[in-house]
Amino acid sequence: MSSEISIKMPRCKGCGICVAFCPKSVLAVDELGKVKVVNANDCIACGQCELRCPDYAIFVDKKVEA
């Protein structure tokens, strides 16, 4: 299964909760204090980032490969 992560930057306050709960270190907080995807290929689409985000700023689109 692959996934695509989208971040609604105006909603992200850079709290880092999604970064802390990602088991594969896919996310990081950048120099501007916002979350960014740094290892997209390592994402296992667990959805922990999406579930934990208090501002509904991150979404994981799970794609089933044929």
Domain limits of the chain? 2-63
What pLDDT, on the 0 to 100 scale, is given for residue 9? 94
CATH class of the structural domain 2-63: alpha beta
* Below-50 pLDDT ranges, the chain: none
What pLDDT, on the 0 to 100 scale, is given for residue 3? 83
CA distance 50 to 62: 12
Q: For residue 2, which of 49, 39, 57, 40 has the smallest C-alpha distance? A: 40
What pLDDT, on the 0 to 100 scale, is given for residue 60? 95
What pLDDT, on the 0 to 100 scale, is given for residue 62? 83
Mean pLDDT (the chain) is: 92
What pLDDT, on the 0 to 100 scale, is given for residue 63? 75
What pLDDT, on the 0 to 100 scale, is given for residue 64? 66
Helix (H, G, I), strand (E, B) or coil at 17: helix
